[in-house]
Every structure is written in structure tokens, then in C-alpha cells.
Structure 1
Amino acid sequence: MAEHDLIDRTRTLGEHATDARTTSSTAAALAPVVVGGRRMTIEEVVAIAQHRAPVTLNADPAWRARIERGAAFLRRHLASGATVYGVTTGYGEACVVDVPMALVEALPLQLTRYHGCGMGAYLDDGQTLAVIAARLNSLAYGLSGVRPVLLERLADLINHRVLPRIPSEGSVGASGDLTPLSYVAAALAGERDVLFRGAQRDARGVWAELGHAPLELAPKEGLALMNGTAVMTGLACLAFARADHLTRIAARLTALSTVALDGRAAHFDARIFAAKPHAGQAEAAAWIRADLAGRADTPGHRLQDRYSVRCAPHVIGVARDALSWVRRDIENELNSANDNPLVDPDSEQVLHGGNFYGGHIAFAMDALKTAVANLADLMDRQFALLVDDKFNNGLPRNLSGAAPARAPINHGFKAVQISSSAWTAEALKLTMPASVFSRSTESHNQDKVSMGTIAARDCLRVIELTEQVAAAHTLAAVQALRLRVRGNASTPVPVPLAAFADSVNAQSPFVDEDRALEHELRALTARIAACALMDTAREKVDEEGSDARDR
């Protein structure tokens, strides 16, 4: 990664906001994401979630005609007296219950209403936008029997920031994210509350303000909106971006800790990683090596640093390599028709199956949270070395910067390291896989379920805790670097690390006398999470610009 990109990752949220108004790179990020007839990427979902990109439906007449053909075929199929699950029958175990034609039109709204039983914290704005983008993209594959107007209204939710209040709890991740997605469907129908322009509003009133009547859901449209994996997939896209960022931070902090501990750069020699050719491991080592460029090892010091430093590329590399297949599975799910039944406009058949099953996302999130928790453990172990004067090669106990006369009553980063260990322990505790806790539900119709949404929520919580560990480690490692230089002014500090330390100190000054660090930790944790998502969106734009230049 280029040096300026790594330094960018320490910038304040205010600087990011300024960039959004002033730089041509970020201006390009506001180009609409085209939905329909193409694959959507994780980076595009992140850009939508961060209010950095609106969406637009594909202008290709052939794509729109295919959507219309699916809805038209379903109408003809029903008119012929055919039986279609969830359209002329009840839902789930009630598929044996016939719905009279006089009630078919009322059935979709009934589905949204009885699923309005979610609990727990509400998804935040970015998560809600990611969920809507995932559902819109799935339905745009033209295998769900929905009308173009439904896709247009989903796009309106994104572009006008009409955000359904979606409770996070209540999905078992098979038969789709039924309960949380019922809040999206209800919002389209003008029911329940939404957030709009910073206020909680009645959905019907918001549609009126936007010049639209609430959508009257056609047969199958309630089921098409709800019977899919959009919640777990949208959350997984955000988790991916933040996990990717954490691998880069862990590499940067390993380099910083190496200098602060007066450790050995030789541990990251490219020849070592060529001998064990895991791509992610070599990538992490290359990042650390670039940060340490020009550093010469001190003769006579410990021949081998402890594992948390020496083996850092091996730990980070597991996460890097996992991200490659996690991306594959998230983007395959994102770009799939995952409701039931499918309505094929080409063969004019209704296909009853189980594409709503979220097993791939569940397993990906279970694996990713384990890889990320290992990053928390790695950073916490490095932090422990920094504060312990038995292992930190001459730094003050607990990284106290106090003058000698005040040293007896100053404790530096002692409590921060205790808190870091608490956050790490909680992250590690949450690595129990959610996907193995399938529960038989709904009269044993849904008797094997994925738990994908719980896995995605757990993964985001592990990431949040790990970002807190990263923030604590960052402040401590920068303090340790300053103390090392103060003790030996001739200590060589590679340029990327010096710039990184300066940017951190601009927001959190050197700790000479003990002070409460909560607000600085909270601010830095927020910056880490926000920069992860914003930089992901920017990288997408940079890649597209490069592709355009190549063409």
C-alpha cells in the first residue's frame, strides 16, 4: 500500500468530510451505483451505506423488459388458476392452506404485519442503507416476479434517505431475514416509522411529502421483499470493509511496536515468506517491511523477538487470506436471487426452492470474526510487551512519561492495557460460531436454519471490540515510540511511522501526567471505523479511474 494511503488512515473525520466536498477523487465517488444487469461489489454497498453514492436503475430497455416480463408472467399464471406458494397459499408450514382468490391481493400486507415483532437495537443508518441496497440488487436479477415500480421505490428509500427502523434481532437466517425485512416492506407500503431528515416520521406522511402514494404490494411482492438474505449480506459487506482495514492497522502497529521495543526488522525479510507461500502472510510482511525500510537491527540485542512481534505477519496473514474467500461468498450472495419461489420469465416457470438459506454468509462471518479476534489478541499481546518494563527493552514502566520526581504517582497506560485485555477477552468469547446453533422453528417447517444474521451481528461486535483494542494500542505504541526517542535521540524512525505518530499526537498528545483517556480512545475508535468505510469507497473510485485510464 502506498505511504500516503497508510497516513490517510489516521486523518480526522472532519478532514474526511472536507475531502468529500473538495477532492475530485471523492466527487467521483458520488456517481450513482447502477443496479440491474451487472454485479454489485462490496465497495459499492459501502459507498451507498456511507451516503457517498446514490443508486440508479439500469437504463437498458432489455433489462427493464425482463423485469416486466416476470411480473406479467406471474399475473397470467395466477389468472390461469395455478397454485403458487406464498401467493395462493399460506406461508411456511401453512403452505397447505389455500388462499381464496378474493384474498390474494391482501396476503402480502398481512405478511409484513405479522412479522412486525423485531426486538433489540435498531440498525444504524449505514447498516439500513446496506440492507436496502442488498435487497434491491437481488430483486433486480429479475427472478422474483416483482414490478419495476417496486425497484424504483427501493431506490427512492436509498436516494431520499427514507430509512426504515429495522430491529436487529429476530431472524434465524433461513426463509430469509423475514422479520427485519418486514420493516422495509412495511415502509414501502406506508406503514410503521422511518427516519427522514433527522426525525422519526410516519412512513405514509413521508411518501406524501415526496409526492408518492404508498406502494400497494402486488401478489408475491411482500414475500419477495422479505424472503431473502439482505440483512445478513448488507451487514457482511460492512464487516468485510472494517475487517480489511484492521489487518492494515495491525501491520502498521507491528512496525511501530518493533521500533518502540527496539526489535528486529530482520524478522520480516521477504525470503522468509517466500519459503512459506501464503499470499496474505507475505502481503502483511511486505507492509511491515515497507514501514521499517531503512531500519538496521541493533547488534547484541535479543536474537529473536517474542511471537506477537515476530509472528505478526503469520497472524495477520490468516485474516488477509480469509478475506479473499469471504469476499467471494459475500459478493456471490449479494449478486443472487435469494427468495422463494423464483419466477423465471424466460422459461415461464415458478421454481420452488431454498435460496433464502444464508449458510454461506453465516460461515463466512463465523470465520471472519475468529480471524479478527485473533488480531485483537495479537495487538493486545504487543501492548502488554510495551507496558512491561521486564520485556520492553528499557522503556519506563507502563509507558509513563512523568518526570522522575512525579513518577511514583503516575501509572501511564496501566489501566488502558487492562481495558484492552477486557475488550480482547470479550472478542475472543464471541468467536463461538453462530452457524452451528440451528433451531427448528415454525412447526418444524424451518427445521434447519443458518443463523446468518446472528453471525453477521456477532462479527460486527467482534470488529467493534477489536477497533477499541487497535485504538488503545495505537495510543500506547505512539507513546512508546516517543519515549524511545526521548531516551535515545539517535533512534532511527522510518518516515511512514514518524508521520503516523505525528498525526496521532495531533489528536492525542504525549501523556506526561496521567489523565483520563476515554474521550481520546472513543474518538480514535470512531476514526478507525469511519476511515475503514470511507477508504473502501475511495479505493473503489480509484480502481474505476485506473480502469478508465487503461481503456
Structure 2
Amino acid sequence: MLLDSDLLPTIPLTGRLTPAVLERAALPVHFEPGPEVRQRVAECREFTLLAMGDGQQVYGATTGFGPLVGFPGRDNGAEQCDNALNHLVAGQGGDLAPAVVRGALTVRLWSLCQGRSGVSPEVIDALRAALRTSFAPAVPTYGSVGASGDLIPLAYAARALRGQGHAYLGGERLPADEALRRAGLRPLELDGRDALALVNGTSVTVAAAGLALVGIRRSYEAALTLSACLTELLGAAPAFLAPQLLRAYGHPDAAHAAAALRERLEGGVPSGDRPLQEPYSIRCTPQLLGAARSSLGHAARVIADDLAGVSDNPLFFAEDGLVAHGGNFFGQPVAFAADLLSITATQMGNLAERQLDLLVDPHRNGGLPPILAVEPGRQHGVQGVQLAATATVAAMRREAVPASVQSLPTNGHNQDVVPFGTQAALTALAQAERLRWLHGSLAVAVRQAAHLSGRRSAAPRCADVVDRLIAAIPPVDPDRPLDVEVRRAADVLDEFSRIADADADADADADADAGAEDEVRCS
């Protein structure tokens, strides 16, 4: 049912859309347009209807679609809507996660509220109403090439809002008309311009990329924390974090990572038993994680720019009397950024897997038993966890091949070069989840190593996270299934990282010249 707006977090549509808002939109949320948004949407709609009434050619409203632009469209607005949507219902594969689809609806809402797409105000209100519930259209994974917008997935979303196809409500997959009825929503009526404006943007692409960014930034904080805990557990000297050394390296983000590691290790006492130089999985963590931070910062700026822009075609500029046809639905910027996210996550995964290997190797782990087994041979410690981690990082490496350069001409050569940003973004989102599993795996091993070593870390920040892991996960003695506990450890790391993640979000917004925070206020 439609939830009372007073009971939901309220987010003004006049502010900047951020990845944090996209993550929040997985749950019911109230988006408040304000009078200025309503005015510009209404004025643009009026100009659009006048332009169409004056006999101007307006792509998709008076014409056919794609390479059929030279042919007239349907005369009736409702029939033109059917014309726009029905031929695009050709997607394949399993459904996207409802959180991704709701993120895409949020991006679409924000873009349409810029007053450049000529949609009716009813479209804005219908999207807002759907997002105040748990309603999420059922959208197949494959179909978009990330050019001319995410046409096929967004067509499924638009049809569900009309009561056609399927949708999720409270996690249950239902016929869309039944989901709307249960949610207290009415089927949305659309004309041709409305329908095209709903599908003609890269909203699925940037929603998935934004959610991937949130996850990987959180994992970056987890990587810093786990690297510090590993260093402390092994008794390694922190000489590799010397500020002078990192300043000489010349990369500010590497110096930032080193400072974060020094803070986490403050109060620790090296054992004095380690070799002069540690393996790269310890010694080079500031250089590797600093590079990751730089890449995440770049991706955050690109995604912020995309979220602030208008992804549609044509666009309407009432103040200039202009109907502008072009390519603002071409998802190349986010395609490149998403591939960078995927590559960054993969190298961070390589680091986590090698750190896990270091911790289970009796020749390098400071005298701990092999595989961190309490009774090696009679027990097997985290052996299965390491096997699964190896399989996971192998999958990440295979998936790290860039999608953004795989252009294939399609659509009668109307779309003769395409960015495949949707596939790049969905891959980045999957990589974010895999990286989270790897950090959960390493965290289970850290917890087991703390049990076997029998000592509490002298570094308070490290001791805090290890204590949280100890509280959540019993020692592995005897052997037991650990799949759920890997995910539980990842949850602990997520919670530990949220404050730092919020700081990173603020940094990224500043880098993107946002000038403000998320403008989220909870009633």
C-alpha cells in the first residue's frame, strides 16, 4: 500500500542526486518536487505540445523510431505510446535486482524533473508514488547497448507502471496490475512523448554504476582496516608507511592511504621477528589502495556529472523556442567509469586473496598453524574459505575485460557505435559484491588468527574491529560450514566502514563541486 509521506525519509528533488540517494531508494522514500520543479515541468510540457501542434517534426512523438525516423508515427498519442514500448519488450535473462530498478526509476525521475523532456506532470507524480512503496518493475538483465538510452530495460519499467508485464512488491513477483493494485497505485497513462522520455535515457546504467561505487568505496575502507589488522596480527613493522617515503612517491592518494593505515595501527607493537621487507601484499598496500582511491574518485566525479545531467532525446528549450535533437542518451562516460570500477575492484580483490594466502601459510604467517587449523589434519580451519576466495577472484579477473570498447553496430546502423555502458555497470555492481565476499573471507581468517594467536591487538582501532568479528563469529573449532559466516563478517565490515564511507561520499561530492551534502532530511 502507499505509505504515508510523513513517515518516510524526504528527499527534495531540487538537490543533487548522489549514489547514496540511489542506495536509499531501494526502500520506500518520498521525493518532494517543490513548486519550482512543478513549474518548469509544466512549462516544458506546454512548449512541447505547442511544438508538436505547429507541425514540427519531433522525434518519437510524430515519427517512427530509430532507423524508421523517416516514417510518420501513429496519430493517436496512446497508440504512439504502444508503438514506443511494445517493440522494445524483447529482453532476456533473469530479472535485475529490485534495488537496481528502483535506482533507475529514481535517476529517471531526477532527469525528467529538469524540465527538458516535455513529459506530463502525471509521469512525475506516478514515479514518485511508486517509489513511496516497495514497487519495482520486473526488468530482464539483457537488452540494452547503452546507446539511445537503456531502451529495452526501461520499456519493461514503463510497461509495469502501466500495469503490464510483471513487478515486485515487497520482494514478491506479481503480475504488474496486481502489484499496482496491492500498492495502492493506479496504472499510468502515457502518450508517445511520455513513453519515449521514460525509456530514452541511460538510467539503468548510471544507477548500477552508482550502486557499484557505493559498494566499492565501502570495500576500500574495509581493505584499509583488514590490511592494518593483518599487519598487526603478523607483528610487521610499519616502516613501509613512513610519511617521507609516501611523499616521495608523488601520489597524494597513496599518502592518504598510508595515513589511514598509520591511524589504524597507532598503538601497535611490532614483533621484531619479521624480515626487513614484507611481501607486497603488506608493503605495497598504500600504493595499491592509493591508486584505487584515485580511480574511485574519478569514477565518482563522472557518475556525479551524469546524475546531474539530462539523458534524453530530443530536449526542449522553451526559453529559446528550440527542440534539440542529439545524442544526450549516449552512455559513454559512465561506461568508461564503470569499467574502471570493475578493474579497480578486481585488483583490490587480488590484494585480499593474497593477504588471505599470506595468513594461512605457516612459512610466512608468524608461526600460526597451516590453514589456521586448530588441529591440522584433524581439522581444516579456513581451507574451504580460501578455495572459494580463489574461485571468486578468478571470476573477477575474467569479468574485468572492458565492455566500453566492445562496440557493435545495430539498429539498421542507426546505432553504428555503442558504449555498452549497461553491461559495464552491471558487471561493476557484480564485482562490488564479489569484492565484499573476499573481504568477508579475509575477515573470517583474521578472526581465526586472533583466536590462534591468543593475544589482543595493541592498536585500539584494530582491536575494535577484531572484537566485533569475535562477537559475531565463533572460532573455527571444530570445522563447520562457513559460507554464512563469510557474509556475516562482510556485514561487520560494512557497519564498521559506514562512517568512513560517509566521509568518502562527502569528499567525492566536493570533488564533483556539488556544493552540498545529500539534502536528505528524515521526518
Give the TM-score normalised by the residue count of structure 1.
0.86
Q: Deviation per CA, 1:37-72, whole angstroms, max 9, x where unpaired? A: 432122222222244x43121x23x43222111111
How many residue pairs get aligned? The number is: 508
CA distance in 2, matches of 1:373, 1:443: 36
Q: Is 2:10 aligned against 1:32? A: yes
Q: Write the letter of the residue equivalent to 1:73.
A: F
Structure 1, 220-229 or 62-71: larger mean CA deviation: 62-71
Which residue pairs with 1:71 in the alignment? 45
1:82 aligned residue (52, 56, 70): 56
Does structure 2 retain, via aligned residues, the 8 Å contact 1:329–1:361?
Answer: yes
Does structure 2 retain, via aligned residues, the 8 Å contact 1:362–1:456?
Answer: yes
Structure 1 segment 351-370 matched on structure 2, within 5 A: 351-370=324-343
Does structure 2 retain, via aligned residues, the 8 Å contact 1:50–1:534?
Answer: no
CA distance in 1, matches of 2:48, 2:517: 41
CA distance in 2, matches of 1:54, 1:534: 24
Does structure 1 retain, via aligned residues, the 8 Å contact 2:221–2:497?
Answer: no
C-alpha distance 212-307 of structure 1, shift in aligned 2 (>3 A)? closer
CA distance in 1, matches of 2:32, 2:359: 51
Following TM superposition, by how much is the alpha carbon of 1:526 offset from its aligned partner in structure 2, in angstroms? Answer: 5.5
C-alpha distance 518-198 of structure 1, shift in aligned 2 (>3 A)? closer
Q: Is 2:31 aligned against 1:55? A: yes
Does structure 2 retain, via aligned residues, the 8 Å contact 1:70–1:143?
Answer: yes
Structure 1, 120-129 or 523-532: larger mean CA deviation: 523-532
Following TM superposition, by how much is the alpha carbon of 1:187 offset from its aligned partner in structure 2, in angstroms? Answer: 2.1
Q: Write the letter of the residue equivalent to 1:144.
A: S
Structure 1 segment 306-321 matched on structure 2, within 5 A: 306-321=279-294
Q: Is 2:108 aligned against 1:135? A: yes
Q: Is 2:176 aligned against 1:203? A: yes
Following TM superposition, by how much is the alpha carbon of 1:295 offset from its aligned partner in structure 2, in angstroms? Answer: 2.0
Following TM superposition, by how much is the alpha carbon of 1:353 offset from its aligned partner in structure 2, in angstroms? Answer: 0.2
Structure 1 segment 458-469 matched on structure 2, within 5 A: 458-469=427-438
C-alpha distance 48-540 of structure 1, shift in aligned 2 (>3 A)? farther
1:390 aligned residue (360, 363, 366): 363
Does structure 2 retain, via aligned residues, the 8 Å contact 1:50–1:533?
Answer: no
Name the SS for the 2:377 alignment partner: helix
Q: Is 2:431 aligned against 1:431? A: no
Structure 1 segment 276-287 matched on structure 2, within 5 A: 276-287=249-260
Following TM superposition, by how much is the alpha carbon of 1:447 offset from its aligned partner in structure 2, in angstroms? Answer: 0.9
Q: Is 2:182 aligned against 1:182? A: no
1:226 aligned residue (199, 206, 218): 199
Name the SS for the 1:350 alignment partner: strand
1:511 aligned residue (468, 473, 476): 476
C-alpha distance 231-350 of structure 1, shift in aligned 2 (>3 A)? same
Q: Is 2:370 aligned against 1:401? A: no
Structure 2 unaligned blocks of 5 or more: 1-5, 510-515
Which residue pairs with 2:142 in the alignment? 169
Following TM superposition, by how much is the alpha carbon of 1:450 offset from its aligned partner in structure 2, in angstroms? Answer: 0.9
Which residue pairs with 1:441 in the alignment? 410
Q: Write the letter of the residue equivalent to 1:442.
A: N
CA distance in 1, matches of 2:493, 2:356: 18
CA distance in 2, matches of 1:243, 1:83: 45
Does structure 2 retain, via aligned residues, the 8 Å contact 1:156–1:162?
Answer: no
Name the SS for the 1:49 alignment partner: coil
C-alpha distance 547-69 of structure 1, shift in aligned 2 (>3 A)? closer
Following TM superposition, by how much is the alpha carbon of 1:532 offset from its aligned partner in structure 2, in angstroms? Answer: 6.8
Name the SS for the 1:271 alignment partner: helix
Following TM superposition, by how much is the alpha carbon of 1:541 offset from its aligned partner in structure 2, in angstroms? Answer: 10
Name the SS for the 2:148 alignment partner: coil
Following TM superposition, by how much is the alpha carbon of 1:141 offset from its aligned partner in structure 2, in angstroms? Answer: 0.8
C-alpha distance 376-80 of structure 1, shift in aligned 2 (>3 A)? same
Does structure 1 retain, via aligned residues, the 8 Å contact 2:92–2:141?
Answer: yes
Which residue pairs with 1:261 in the alignment? 234
CA distance in 2, matches of 1:319, 1:492: 27
Structure 1 segment 87-98 matched on structure 2, within 5 A: 87-98=61-72
Q: Write the letter of the residue equivalent to 1:68.
A: A
Name the SS for the 2:192 alignment partner: coil
CA distance in 2, matches of 1:413, 1:541: 37
C-alpha distance 415-194 of structure 1, shift in aligned 2 (>3 A)? closer
Does structure 1 retain, via aligned residues, the 8 Å contact 2:81–2:193?
Answer: yes
Which residue pairs with 2:458 in the alignment? 493
Q: Write the letter of the residue equivalent to 2:32.
A: T
Q: Write the letter of the residue equivalent to 2:69.
A: C
Q: Write the letter of the residue equivalent to 1:193.
A: H
CA distance in 2, matches of 1:129, 1:529: 22
CA distance in 2, matches of 1:270, 1:148: 56
Does structure 1 retain, via aligned residues, the 8 Å contact 2:403–2:421?
Answer: yes
Following TM superposition, by how much is the alpha carbon of 1:249 offset from its aligned partner in structure 2, in angstroms? Answer: 0.7
Q: Write the letter of the residue equivalent to 1:41.
A: T
Which residue pairs with 2:390 in the alignment? 421
CA distance in 1, matches of 2:52, 2:517: 47
CA distance in 2, matches of 1:531, 1:225: 38
Which residue pairs with 1:470 in the alignment? 439
Does structure 2 retain, via aligned residues, the 8 Å contact 1:189–1:216?
Answer: yes
C-alpha distance 299-539 of structure 1, shift in aligned 2 (>3 A)? closer
Name the SS for the 1:99 alignment partner: coil
Q: In angstroms, what is the RMSD of aligned CA positions?
A: 2.7
Name the SS for the 1:194 alignment partner: strand
Does structure 1 retain, via aligned residues, the 8 Å contact 2:235–2:269?
Answer: no
Following TM superposition, by how much is the alpha carbon of 1:104 offset from its aligned partner in structure 2, in angstroms? Answer: 4.4
Following TM superposition, by how much is the alpha carbon of 1:539 offset from its aligned partner in structure 2, in angstroms? Answer: 8.4
2:23 aligned residue (43, 46, 49): 46
Does structure 2 retain, via aligned residues, the 8 Å contact 1:440–1:448?
Answer: yes
Structure 1, 524-533 or 429-438: larger mean CA deviation: 524-533
CA distance in 2, matches of 1:295, 1:420: 28
C-alpha distance 257-233 of structure 1, shift in aligned 2 (>3 A)? same
Following TM superposition, by how much is the alpha carbon of 1:534 offset from its aligned partner in structure 2, in angstroms? Answer: 9.8
Does structure 1 retain, via aligned residues, the 8 Å contact 2:18–2:518?
Answer: no
Following TM superposition, by how much is the alpha carbon of 1:476 offset from its aligned partner in structure 2, in angstroms? Answer: 0.5
Which residue pairs with 1:524 in the alignment? 489
CA distance in 2, matches of 1:479, 1:465: 21
Give the TM-score normalised by the residue count of structure 2.
0.91
CA distance in 2, matches of 1:446, 1:355: 13
